[in-house]
Amino acid sequence: MAALVPAYVDSSSRVWSVLASAPQGVGIVIVNPDSGVGSAPMPSLRRRVAALRRAGVGLVVGYIATDFGRRPVPEVVREMRRYRSWYGIDDYNLSDVPVTARALPYYRELRSAAGGGHIVLSTGAVPDRGYLAVADVITTFEGSERQYREARFPAWTRRYPPARFAHIVYATPARDWPRVVALARSRNAGYLFVTDASLPNPYDVLPTYFGAERRALAG
């Protein structure tokens, strides 16, 4: 297993230095400067992205909201191009993705527009199986620790390599994160982010136990 870290922070955050100084166990970092790429490039963020790559972080992806398939494709493609031009990022986290098959043609078009870039889809729940043909990784759970304990996953999700699935679990007390890691393993999740931070934004800081979590996933 490896950590998928939603880094919804600006370039001044210490999150970047922590990730670059201890990359073991970090598989994916989602870069999200301003609920997307923002309106202007930040050279300091480009340096942060380059530092992550030098440190050996597996995959650095740019966050792009898709409004459940309603956002015009040219807007999304323009944002992809800005990530590539401003930050050297040509892998993408497409967020706000519906779980039903109706939007599959929309996401196939975006996959094609991404060229050879990796695609991480954030559905937050298990979607129609057809999305596996569009994405390299699908976030099939996003919610609290209590919701995660109660969640159910269809049998077909265990027939694919764990690296196809990611789970994000927030509001997890320090005493409970090892249990969440074990549960994620049993549910065939290859990528995981567990944090004690809570809504409205659990992704602007790292969990207080991130070092231990990272080492557990790497082990």
Mean pLDDT of 32-53: 96
User: Do residues 25 and 218 touch, judged by C-beta distance below 8 A?
Assistant: yes
Tell me whether residue 173 is exposed, middle or buried, using C-beta atoms within 10 angstroms of its C-beta: 0 to 12, 13 to 18, 19 or more: exposed
**Residue 172 CB neighbours (<10 A):** 25
User: For position 130, what pLDDT does the model report?
Assistant: 97
Per-residue pLDDT, averaged over 64-91, amounts to 98
User: Looking at residue 15, what is its pLDDT?
Assistant: 96
**90 touches 58 (CB < 8 A):** no
- Tell me the residue ranges of DSSP E strands in the chain: 2-7, 26-31, 59-65, 92-95, 119-122, 137-144, 165-170, 191-194
Using alpha carbons, select from 219, 218, 190 the residue that is nearest to residue 56: 218
Q: Is pLDDT of 103 > 90? A: yes
DSSP letter for 70, please. T
| pLDDT for residue 71 is more than 90 | yes
Q: What is the pLDDT of residue 163?
A: 98
Instruction: For residue 58, name the pLDDT band (cuts at 50, 70, 90).
Output: confident
Write out pLDDT tens, residues 177-197: 999 999 999 999 999 999 999
User: What whole-number distance in Å separates Cα of residue 210 and Cα of residue 195?
Assistant: 8
Give residue 219's pLDDT. 82
Contact 107, 97 (CB under 8 A): yes
Q: What is the CATH number of domain 2-218?
A: 3.20.20.80
The full set of domain ranges for the chain reads 2-218
pTM for the predicted model, two decimal places: 0.96
Per residue in 104-161, pLDDT tens?
Answer: 999 999 999 999 999 999 999 999 999 999 999 999 999 999 999 999 999 999 999 9
CA separation for the pair 176, 169 (Å, rounded)? 11
Give me the pLDDT at residue 126, please. Answer: 98
- Report phi then psi at 49, rounded to 5: -65, -45
Q: What is the pLDDT of residue 31?
A: 98
